[in-house]
Amino acid sequence: MQSVIPVQKVALANLPTKIHPLLRVSAWLGGPEIWIKRDDLTGCALSGNKVRKLEYLAYDATKKKSDVLITCGGIQSNHARATAAVAAQLGMKCHLVLSGHEEDLPDGNLFLDMLFGAQVTFVEGADLSRLDHAMEEVAQKYKAKGLNPYIVPLGASNALGALGYVETAAEITMQAGELNVRFDHVVLPCGSAGTLAGLATGFSHLESKTQIWGISVSFEKQWIKDKVSELAQEIKKFFLPQLNTPLDNFHILDSYIGEGYGKTTPQQLKMIHEIASMEGIVLDPVYTGKAFWGLKEEIQRGTFKKGHKVLFLHTGGIFGLFARRYKEMLTSDILRPENSQTNTP
């Protein structure tokens, strides 16, 4: 597929990712026809949506002859793990600034960060400004050693990174044509807003009537709206001057954040188990599980109706499911509840 944007990238992802219907889940929910785009299978150590954005930033880093990638996130950050994998693949160093404290026995994404050789700085109770400041401090230390660091923003969510999902909008449109289906809605988890901004920009650029729905896992609606608008303006300024802004094709739902980023519920974990049992598809408790829970609730509210065709973007995150706290909740409350009986043959 020919790119819709005249910007070079490093080819890291396995593209295009597959789109297919979720027949049993659609019947279970009794609402619209639900399809899924498998961006959990982009490759690069199962890096999900992050690798599409990192393809552009990694090219920029190599063009600038950088030898260290620095980024930030939570302890179980998919983006941090993806950045560590990309750095290893390109023969670069990686340094992660993670919000939280060091663990005696790292698991999930943190375990993989270390497996990929990333150095980690832990900053307890850090907000975005503190993480940004900490990354700058780390970068200065590498510069003092004669190295050339490159800071990748949270979620790779700047205008350059968002181009990965401007391009994905064209990929979805091409695949929909091949499948002879028109998607009324695309639903996705939304964290740092780069994926949402890229998709909304891409579909707007293609003059598509598809509506984009970002289900927030962390930030409030106004923060995301402002971030999407900011990124769209920068994409227009630097890459797509013909783009019509402001965008009017995206919606933000921030009522499913719950107790906060990385916090899930037994009900959401039960749904993850049900979908895995029905379709053989694994959602994660931080992003896709929370977003699919939001999709399910909005179907019940009538936001998405019978006759609609909804595409759910699976952004990855499978390794987060193996973090100790989620495994314990799943095992004790759902997979092996106290009242279950162990059957022996």
- Residue 40 half-sphere exposure toward CB, CA atoms < 13 A: 19
Q: Which run of H or of E encompasses 54?
A: helix 50-63
| 328 φ/ψ angles, rounded to the nearest 5 degrees | -65, -40
Query: Residue type for 214, please?
Result: G
d(CA 231, CA 196): 10
Cβ neighbours of residue 233 closer than 8 Å, sequence gap 6 or more: 245
The CA-atom distances, in angstroms, between 78 and each of 71, 155, 275 are 11, 9, 21
d(CA 83, CA 77): 10
Q: Would you name the residues annotated as active-site residues?
A: 77
Q: What is the DSSP letter of 186?
A: E
Query: Residue type for 166, please?
Result: V
d(CA 17, CA 303): 27
CB atoms within 10 A of CB 241: 8
CB–CB of 164/52 below 8 Å?
Answer: yes
d(CA 285, CA 269): 7
